[in-house]
Amino acid sequence: MIEGHKDVEYRSESEYWMKRIWANRDKITHATFHMGYTSTTITRPVLLIDRGGCPYDGWDGDYVRLHLGAIEDE
């Protein structure tokens, strides 16, 4: 993600993510990601939130997809 190669983040359509992301999709403008268990974070604007498949092998079914803009300075 730091190198800019990953522009879509996937979350399962579980009850947790549906309440947290899908139900609030009109209010979410940015997403902050933590690098493992460190204090290093990346913030990216959320351009679109939709639902659909994932291109990764073994990730069957539909997901909540966050389409992300460029990394913003912290």
Summarised one tens digit per residue, pLDDT across range 54-74 is 999 999 999 999 999 988 765
When the pLDDT of each residue in the chain is averaged and rounded to a whole number, the result is 91
CA distance 44 to 23: 20
Indicate whether 3 pLDDT > 90: no
**Percent of the chain at pLDDT exceeding 90:** 70
24: left (phi over 0), alpha (psi -120 to 50) or beta: alpha
Rounded average pLDDT over 2-18: 89
**Percent of the chain at pLDDT exceeding 70:** 93
Q: Residue 29: what residue type?
A: T
pTM: 0.86
CB 22 within 8 A of CB 51: yes
